[in-house]
């Protein structure tokens, strides 16, 4: 059995705190945090879904699960990300899916070591510059 990453462990903990299909979909990235993908009757009850999201986020924080909101491109949907490297990128405005795979792997590797602040900053700036193309 292969070892789980820190992000996978956080996701497993978060899934145990979910109440219902909608909250599981939020954690797994299948539903938008904004609620923009609600259709039909569900759209009428958007306020209830917003309250459900807020309750989920509160439970995650109380239980010490670290997460951040990120924009997933090209769909432009806000999703939750777990794990320190992905949170670092999301909190610094880097659109996770818009940067190329090689640069993304370099950013993850640099953030995992924790000693390479200047390198991480430079890579993040490159990623942000590449987004505007």
Q: Does 24 map to a domain?
A: yes
Q: Does 97 map to a domain?
A: yes
Q: Does 86 map to a domain?
A: yes
- Domain count within the chain: 1
Residue with tokens 């609600």: 38
pLDDT digits (tens, 9 = 90+) for 88-120: 666 666 666 555 666 666 666 766 666 666 666
| CA neighbor of 82 nearest in space, from 57, 55, 51, 109 | 57
109 DSSP 8-state letter: H
Cα 56 from Cα 109, distance rounded (Å): 30
User: What distance lies between CA 122 and its chain's CA centroid?
Assistant: 22
pTM of the model: 0.67
Q: Does 65 map to a domain?
A: yes
9 token code pair:
């462990």
Q: Does 1 map to a domain?
A: no
Range of the domain at 76: 6-131
């Amino acid at each position: 059995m292969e070892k789980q990453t820190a992000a996978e462990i956080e996701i497993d903990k978060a899934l145990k705190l979910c109440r219902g299909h909608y909250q599981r979909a939020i954690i797994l990235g299948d539903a938008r945090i904004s609620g923009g993908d609600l259709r039909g009757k569900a759209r009428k009850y958007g306020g209830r879904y917003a309250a459900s999201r807020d309750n989920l986020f509160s439970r995650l924080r109380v239980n010490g699960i670290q997460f951040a909101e990120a924009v997933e491109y090209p769909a432009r949907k806000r999703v939750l990300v777990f794990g320190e490297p992905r949170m670092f990128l999301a909190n610094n405005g880097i659109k996770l899916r818009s940067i190329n795979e090689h640069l993304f792997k370099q950013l993850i590797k640099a953030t995992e070591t924790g000693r390479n602040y200047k390198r991480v900053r430079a890579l993040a700036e490159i990623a942000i510059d590449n987004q505007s193309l």
